[in-house]
Amino acid sequence: MSHYQQFYINGQWVAPKGTQTLDVINPATEEAVATIALGNKEDVDLAVAAAKAAFDSYSQTTREERIALLERVIEVFKKRMGDVAVAISQEMGAPAKLAQAAQAPSGLGHFAAALGALKEFEFEETIGTTLVTKEPIGVCGLITPWNWPMNQLTCKVAPALATGCTMVLKPSEVAPLSALILAEILDEAGVPAGVFNLVNGDGPTVGAAMSGHPDIDMMSFTGSTGAGRQVMANGAQTIKRVALELGGKSANILLDDVNFEKMVAHGVMSCMNNSGQSCNAPTRMLVPNSRMDEVAAIAQAVVSKVKPGDPNAADTVIGPVVSKAQWTKIQDLITTGIEEGAKVVAGGPGRPDGLDKGYYVKPTIFSHVNNEMTIAREEIFGPVLSIIGYEDEDDAVRIANDTRYGLSGYVSSSDLDRARNVARRIRTGMVHLNGAQLDPRAPFGGYKESGIGREWGHYGFEDFLEVKSIFGYNQA
């Protein structure tokens, strides 16, 4: 790939207006794998102008034309899947197996889900003599994070393309390589010039220029709750729509009738997956107080098999966390957990044995945690699980909801109706019952400080559409 030092604007790879660059660090080796150009406000202005000019024609394309475009994107994406997986592993440290099996394919999944939704989506509705139509909102600013890079790129780009919008993308400067490949994919698939534009850069410069830009009609941001506040504040200056997918501190309620061996193991592995770097990870495991010691022993046995190491090694289960800054933050929170009285079941501070280089974190489990402890309230974003005891079902629901976040939740019971009833009481945008998996056709997003709006499938179209009422369109 030869576009590290370029941006994709108006259908061409162009040189940046500034001279700033940034090394992309492989977190497994702490060495640079690439150096990217960093954009500035002038680069953003050019990209926005291209998107604005392209909107007039692209917004008028037919459903059939956009279906054909998404089909071409899918075919090219399939050819580049291996390249995407390698880039993700290098830029954010995902084990090669995870990058190949989940990280890269998630992008294909979102394009396929958008294609399916586009074929059936109702863009018009008649109410009496009024036609209500859903139209593309305009130029969209997209800002994406580093933890599941292709997943979060495509669940914004795909619905934007499907609904007739044009866009400017700022991927995470920490993990930008997969985004550059996506730009190559879209170019080869024949996305019209100006419809998709990419400018690399940091949040305070490029991100702020986008969210405050008067010609960007909508911002879609995924990242930390703190950064989401900034995007929202900047967007307020021009009253633009802002869609946010933010942090989480999801509770995993194991009711007293579950198979604890099975569901504790499932909960531990779900928390550790991707080195704990998932906004919807089940990081608070809620168990009956009477089963605390039993659960801790099961969890300890399970996590002993979670081997951190070289992302390319066949026996690696989790790779490093993404950066030195993240590693330091996680270490500080682990130390805080110990100081506040949580019991270390496994792991703890420092690097795992034998790993002296790379941003590796010991897979760590705390038991006897209460919900007032820092590790139960802050999003750690690392391989750290807190086990919290509850007295009864009502207490479990209370603890689960006692958080400023509301992204996801997990409930397990041998009685499905019981699990369903508890799920309805959880104040989150998503709940998994008995280990159920995500569905890219269903909405993804959260309550409270976990965000605004929903992504994925046909629900993901709504933030990219404006609603217009044309009164008297149908004469009686």
What interhelical angle do 260-272 and 292-303 show, nearest 10?
50
CA dist 345 and 331 (Å) reads: 16
Amino acid at 399: I
Residue 325's alpha-carbon distances to 120, 329, 331, 332, in angstroms, are 44, 6, 10, 11
CA dist 447 and 284 (Å) reads: 17
The answer to whether 294 is a known catalytic residue is no
- Cβ atoms of 143 and 203 closer than 8 Å: yes
Catalytic residue among 91, 173, 184, 245: 245
The answer to whether 173 is a known catalytic residue is no
Residue 207 three-state SS = helix
CB contact set of 225 (below 8 Å; sequence gap of 6+): 246, 247, 379, 405, 449, 450
Written as six digits, the tokens of 93 are 């440290």
Residue 171 three-state SS = coil
Question: Containing H/E element for 149?
Answer: helix 149-163
Task: Look at residues 375, 324, 311 and name the one whose alpha carbon lies nearest to residue 345.
Answer: 375
DSSP state of 391: S
Strand locations in 41-162 (E): 124-127, 130-136, 139-143
CA dist 378 and 343 (Å) reads: 17
Catalytic residue among 184, 279, 379, 455: 279
- Cβ atoms of 153 and 169 closer than 8 Å: yes
Residue 398 three-state SS = helix
Classify the C-alpha dihedral 448-268-441-199 as positive or negative.
positive
Written as six digits, the tokens of 22 are 């940034």
Helices first, then strands: H and E counts in the chain: 14, 22
Residues in the chain: 476
Question: Containing H/E element for 221?
Answer: strand 218-222
Q: Annotated active-site positions, please? A: 245, 279
